[in-house]
Structure 1
């Protein structure tokens, strides 16, 4: 009986801290998930666009953090795409944007991307747009 009690106590000492650390990890993951900017869409299909007519694709985001967020860098994947974005810092709960202006010079299907870095996170976010340029 003494061995059984000792075993139960030892088991309790192992299980309780292990379950507590799982709960702490869950809380950390939930807090991290809440502490980022939230993109309305990370991929946009623009469908068919006429050749020779630039197309502006607007990516919108909401600052879901507790502090202002600033876009620090935006880079298009090719020279056929220009960019514009919110230059001011975005307050918590407010929205900002990144525009990709695609020069629809060549006919055919396309998939392009814009890479965005913010003050909220050192990891860059890749936003993608696709469609088909059709001749007039």
Structure 2
């Protein structure tokens, strides 16, 4: 009799575990199904700014050393949240940029001006401006290039010939 009672007690405990595991699995399956189907009440559209440029590259062509080249890049916030430009840094000290410091509203178009000082930079030049923003990408690159014709040098002193 003692063996039968012990067996019945163990059987009840095992049944209890099986029922509780089955119940937990059912709940997990229901949660997975909801997650896969999507819960319209909990779904929200995330507000994200998107920086869209009319162009990201510009070629100044052939220029004379000493020229200061300027180009304006136009961009639009095509996202659904304000766009913030944190920084815009040139690849060297000869390349500088000027950008809007205030947040740019969705749908708004603004400009970023880039200047390149060719003094002391003869021959082919490829420069870039790295823009840090609050977009998903976080960084955007603008590229400029030019073929810089060197200044003529004096044969006597090595100094440029004045015009």
Q: Tell me which residue corresponds to 2:148.
A: 133
**Pairing of 1:43-82 with structure 2 (within 5 A):** 43-82=57-96
- Of 102, 113, 117, 1:88 maps to 102
Q: Could you give the per-residue CA deviations for residues 51-79 of structure 1, whole angstroms, max 9, x where no partner exists?
A: 21211122211000112111111111011
Between the two proteins, the alignment pairs up a number of residues equal to 108
Partners in 2 of 1:69 and 1:35 — Cα distance? Answer: 5
- Of 43, 52, 63, 1:38 maps to 52
Unaligned runs of 5+ in 2: 1-32, 38-44, 152-163
List structure 1 runs of 4+ shifted beyond 6 angstroms.
none
Larger gyration radius, structure 1 or structure 2: 2
- Of 105, 112, 116, 2:127 maps to 112
What is the Cα-based RMSD across aligned positions, in Å? 2.5
Q: Which has the higher contact order (CA 8 A, sep 6+)?
A: 1
Larger deviation: 116-125 or 89-98? 116-125
Q: Post-superposition shift, 1:49?
A: 2.1
- Of 100, 109, 133, 2:114 maps to 100
TM-score normalised according to structure 1 size: 0.69
Larger strand proportion of the pair: 1
Unaligned runs of 5+ in 1: 1-16, 22-30
